[in-house]
Amino acid sequence: MMSFTEFDATGIELERISCDLCGGNETTLEFEAKDIRYGLPGSFNVVRCRKCHLVFTNPRPLKRASNAYYPDDYRPHIGGKREYENWFGAVYRRMAFSRKANLFSRMLGDVYNHLAYRQFVSKEVDPALVLDVGCGTGDYLGVWRELGWNVQGLEMDDSAAGIAKKKLGFCVGVGRLAEATLPAAGFDLVAMSHVLEHMHSPSLALRKIAHVLKPGGRILITVPNYASWDRHVFGPRWQGLEVPRHLYHFEPQSLSVMLESEGFAIEQMGSSAHPGSLIRSIRGLCKKGRPSGRISSVERCLGWFVQLVPALLMCGTSLWVVARLRSGREPLGENGKSAGKTT
Ligand SMILES: [Zn+2]
């Protein structure tokens, strides 16, 4: 990926990059956006590649400057309940993913998965090992363990990783995926929940994941859906943008193409509701309350209600995909060095 450095009016060190998917340099401006969620300084262009249509933030803060955009109260780094961590989610999780689940339970689980931000894949071997990249404080590691998986995490924020290790005793490495030392062909599944959009080169990240997956292993990705109905309604004030923490803004097409070009075959793709994002978008639009403030149960219920149908129509707030590493692909070195890309 080619890049060069510049500064914006507030002195933030920026890099202008070429498209991570096709290498193109010609883009069209979607809009200019700010960090609405935390109100951090700067204004960032969201652009679309003219050639492959990948949407990304460009220019963007340099890697060494990007930590400034993860404030101390950045939610994934301080823990707390996720959308599914309530009695409803817990009940259906048990029903849907139990090996002994009956058809009715699995149907209910399927409905729940599609509507309620739950996308997991079944184990094919036992014991099976999952790597949660960007595991934060370990919420998802707990879910995977509950489902019978052996778990390992990777987290770039050392305090969040510390919570995951100390609180729940998880095996969590600290650092970025690109630099992490991981065993080749060591994992049955790699999960990344709302992580890929933060990475400086998603294509390189996928290449590294292909390297650490066992043959036929799978990847589970969740990202904000740039093609969602609420993104179209709220535009630059859509909470899913989260510039400049989100460097890429995926749509079903661009995510599929990137996965396939890195050796994965799509097995399932869908969209899901994300009531928190909707409520924060509305707050931002109305300038009522701090968008990142607590969301009440009433607000959350309303958010679910409004988002159920769009989620079924592939225009829900989040996009999820399960993809399998294709067999017979050429083995790549760690960090994809054999392909000649640089971070
Ligand atoms: Zn492109």
Q: pLDDT for 154-163, tens place per residue?
A: 998 888 898 8
**How far does the centroid of ligand 1 lie from the alpha carbon of residue 250, in Å?**
12
**How far does the centroid of ligand 1 lie from the alpha carbon of residue 343, in Å?**
17
**How far does the centroid of ligand 1 lie from the alpha carbon of residue 42, in Å?**
25
- Reading the block at residue 245, the tokens are 């923490």
> What is the model's pLDDT at position 281?
80
**233 against 282, higher pLDDT:** 233
**How far does the centroid of ligand 1 lie from the alpha carbon of residue 255, in Å?**
12
Q: Which of 42-51, 167-176, 222-231 has the lowest mean pLDDT?
A: 167-176
Question: Which are the contacts of 303, defined by CB distance < 8 A and separation ≥ 6?
Answer: 273, 274, 275, 276, 278, 279, 295
Rounded distance between C-alpha atoms, residue 31 and residue 240, angstroms: 14
The mean pLDDT of 271-296, rounded to a whole number, is 72
Rounded distance between C-alpha atoms, residue 189 and residue 213, angstroms: 7
Return mean pLDDT, the chain. Answer: 79
Asked whether residue 87 carries a pLDDT value surpassing 50, the answer given is no
Q: Which helix (H) or strand (E) holds 94?
A: helix 87-97
Angle between helices 252-261 and 202-212 (to 10 degrees): 50
Rounded distance between C-alpha atoms, residue 251 and residue 225, angstroms: 6
> What is the model's pLDDT at position 65?
74
Helix, strand, coil share (%) of the chain residues, nearest 5: 35, 25, 40
**Global pTM value:** 0.80
Confidence of residue 7 (pLDDT cuts 50, 70, 90): low
> What is the model's pLDDT at position 299?
76
**How far does the centroid of ligand 1 lie from the alpha carbon of residue 205, in Å?**
17
Rounded distance between C-alpha atoms, residue 309 and residue 271, angstroms: 10
Q: Which of 126-135, 230-239, 312-321 has the lowest mean pLDDT?
A: 312-321
Q: Which of 49-53, 54-58, 81-85 has the lowest mean pLDDT?
A: 81-85
Asked whether 343 and 204 are in contact (CB, 8 A), the reply is: yes
Of all residues in the chain, what percent carry a pLDDT higher than 70?
75
**How far does the centroid of ligand 1 lie from the alpha carbon of residue 60, in Å?**
16
Confidence of residue 244 (pLDDT cuts 50, 70, 90): very high
**How far does the centroid of ligand 1 lie from the alpha carbon of residue 53, in Å?**
6
**How far does the centroid of ligand 1 lie from the alpha carbon of residue 18, in Å?**
8
> What is the model's pLDDT at position 77?
59
**How far does the centroid of ligand 1 lie from the alpha carbon of residue 22, in Å?**
4
In the CATH scheme, what is the code of domain 69-339? 3.40.50.150
**How far does the centroid of ligand 1 lie from the alpha carbon of residue 74, in Å?**
30
Handedness of CA 201, 204, 209, 215 (dihedral sign): positive
| Annotated domain spans of the chain | 69-339
**How far does the centroid of ligand 1 lie from the alpha carbon of residue 150, in Å?**
37
Confidence of residue 64 (pLDDT cuts 50, 70, 90): confident
Asked whether 233 and 178 are in contact (CB, 8 A), the reply is: no
